[in-house]
Amino acid sequence: MIPLQDILPRKNPPIMTWILIFINVMVFFYELSLSPIEREIFFRNWGFMPAKFFDNYFSILIGEPFYRKYLSLITHLFIHGGWLHIIGNMWTLWIFGDNVEDRLGPFRFLLFYLLCGIFATLTHSFIYKNSVIPVVGASGAISGVMGAYFMMYPLARILVVIPIFFFPLLFEIPAFLYLGYWFLIQFYSGLFSLALPGSFGGVAWFAHIGGFIAGAIIYKAFFKKRKIYLDECCIFGSLFDIDKK
């Protein structure tokens, strides 16, 4: 089930969403300009490696600069491992980010996005404290955006496609149904990755889970005050968010 777009208007241009997509794409093109060895060094320097963060002896052993260990909490969010990785993440950010940014405002949205990404990565790292595999990608932060969307616009319609052989099936479903299904997939994949680590490698499932939960919990703290009209509350409002500012 692949999301194509949401049927939810916005009031303002999603400037910060555009900026985030632009930065991610520019960093990816920079990665493509590197040789395979240079790219691996780039990932290890600026991706987030749990062992470097939780094991001080390991950090000292490899000579990791103090500033880079903590800066990688942010920089890893703008690094991607391939075309499918970045296209999938940026497409999802475009679908859900504009409406969340519309509700939070661009600068609050940026702070919210980064905090969700950090929480997502720390959730993954808590499970895999000794991992020396760099974590890269914006999916943890984007999962937080999806969590906020789930809480704010559960009745918004999402246009999705299910490819059946060569015949794509298009239909609309409520946001809470699509996002709830997506979260369950991440949750059970994460559990199976612990039971069968060789079969579910390469994806930071617990980062997705942690980011989604973080976004669903902290989104209200980033609300900007604005007037909410009756028709918006009735049509697009949240079942959970009834005391809007």
Q: Is residue 164 part of a domain?
A: yes
Q: Is residue 245 part of a domain?
A: no
How many structural domains does the chain have?
1
- Using CA atoms, how far apart are residues 99 and 8, in angstroms rounded to an integer? 8
pLDDT, mean of residues 163-181: 87
Give the H or E element holding residue 59.
Answer: helix 56-62
The amino acid that residue 86 corresponds to is: I
CATH number at residue 134: 1.20.1540.10
Confidence at residue 237, expressed as pLDDT on a 0 to 100 scale:
46
- Using CA atoms, how far apart are residues 211 and 216, in angstroms rounded to an integer? 9
Q: Which structural domain, as residue segments, surrounds residue 199? A: 2-236
Give the chain's radius of gyration (CA, Å): 19
The two three-digit tokens of residue 181, written as one number: 């299904």
- Using CA atoms, how far apart are residues 179 and 185, in angstroms rounded to an integer? 10
Edge-first strand listing for the sheet containing 157-164: 2-7, 157-164, 167-174
Taking alpha carbons only, the member of 126, 157, 117 closest to residue 54 is 126
Give the H or E element holding residue 167.
Answer: strand 167-174
Q: What is the pLDDT of residues 19-74, one digit of tens each?
A: 999 999 999 999 999 999 999 999 988 999 888 777 666 666 666 776 777 899 99
Taking alpha carbons only, the member of 128, 122, 131, 103 closest to residue 211 is 122
- Using CA atoms, how far apart are residues 3 and 67, in angstroms rounded to an integer? 38
The two three-digit tokens of residue 17, written as one number: 């969403």
- Using CA atoms, how far apart are residues 7 and 76, in angstroms rounded to an integer? 31
Q: What is the pLDDT of residues 82-135, one digit of tens each?
A: 999 999 999 999 999 999 999 999 999 999 999 999 999 999 988 888 888 889
Reply yes or no on whether the pLDDT at 157 is more than 60: yes
Q: Is residue 241 part of a domain?
A: no
Rounded to two decimals, the pTM is 0.86
Percent of residues, the chain, with pLDDT higher than 90: 58
The two three-digit tokens of residue 56, written as one number: 């001080």
Q: Is residue 242 part of a domain?
A: no
The Cβ of residue 24 has, within 10 Å, a number of other Cβ atoms equal to: 20
Q: Is residue 52 part of a domain?
A: yes
What mean pLDDT is reported for the chain?
Answer: 85
Reply yes or no on whether the pLDDT at 241 is more than 60: no
